[in-house]
Amino acid sequence: MSLGLISRIIGAAYRIPLNRFFGPEIMGMYQMAYPLFQLLVILSIFGFPTALARLVAREKGTGRNKKAHDYFISAFILLGGTGAFISVLLYLGSDYYANQVANTPDIGLAIELLSPAVFFVFLITAFRGFSQGMQNMLPFASFQVVEQVIKVIFALFFGFMLIEALPAITLAGIMLGTTIGAFCGLLMMAYYYFIFINREYSNVSLESLSLGKFKKNIRDTTNICTADYPRQYNDALDADYRCCPCYPQAGTN
């Protein structure tokens, strides 16, 4: 069983104790708040790790490791800035979403505590694309499993600590566990990068951060991401609907 599959199983299975111990009211509010976080992340970074990985792999394959690292630095800056902007936007718009869109005022605080996780996930995405391009996904996959475990532990811990409080407070504690998990995942990736990877590029100059090279690197990444987006979107739809009885199966008309 792959580490990625284990991570997904943990992330999905921990909803069972949420429903069992905290009841349908908390679970219902959770289902109103957490999908917003997922939607923002998916729409904002969909395809970017793959595009970055392809560029990094291409440069690494021709022996231009410094150029591969330049792409990573550019993507890290772009994703960090974009993630910070969306996190702030999510925080400031949490009350509006809770009251006007979801019509569930009690989820406002939970969304506020969840908003920093968007920033952390965006930065993790840059590490993911770089690791995939360097053909060394084991650290990322391992850290992803640990991140999910930390998320579950803290979500249940804060949930049980606040179980006697108002539902809005209990849900906020559960969401805080997600943010802590994402933060720990980012710390683990950053530690691995600076200890084991950055040594190879200790002589890299600040030229890689120049505005001209930054624009070119982002343009290259965006072009690949845009060209590949329709295929990835269709793959995502296939994954969601392949189990549907009406989905055309191989060998059928």
Q: What is the pLDDT of residues 118-151, one digit of tens each?
A: 999 999 988 888 888 888 777 778 888 888 899 8
Say if 28 falls within a structural domain: yes
For residues 146 and 185, the answer to whether their CB atoms sit within 8 Å is yes
Query: Alpha-carbon distance 50 to 48, whole Å?
Result: 5
Residue 223 has pLDDT above 60, yes or no: yes
Q: How many domains does the chain have?
A: 1
Say if 247 falls within a structural domain: no
Which of 161-165, 221-225, 230-234 reaches the highest mean pLDDT? 161-165
Q: Please state, rounded to an integer, the average pLDDT across all residues of the chain.
A: 79
Task: Determine the structural domain holding residue 66 and report its residue range.
Answer: 3-241
Say if 250 falls within a structural domain: no
Give me the long-range contacts of 95-102 (CB less than 8 A, separation at least 24): 97/36, 102/32, 102/33
In the chain, % of residues over pLDDT 90: 25
Query: Alpha-carbon distance 47 to 74, whole Å?
Result: 16
16-71: pLDDT as tens digits: 888 788 888 888 899 888 888 888 877 766 777 888 888 888 888 887 878 888 88
Say if 128 falls within a structural domain: yes
Say if 41 falls within a structural domain: yes
- The whole-number pLDDT of residue 113 equals 94
Say if 170 falls within a structural domain: yes
- The whole-number pLDDT of residue 242 equals 39
Position 234 confidence tier, pLDDT thresholds 50, 70, 90: very low
Mean pLDDT across the stretch 141-170? 89
| Higher pLDDT pick, 251 / 193 | 193
- The residue among 109, 86, 119, 115 whose CA lies nearest residue 185 is 119
Say if 249 falls within a structural domain: no
How far apart are the two ends of the chain, measured CA to CA in Å?
34
Say if 182 falls within a structural domain: yes
Which of 21-35, 88-102, 142-156, 186-200 reaches the highest mean pLDDT? 88-102
Residue 135: partners with Cβ closer than 8 Å, 6 or more residues away: 57, 60
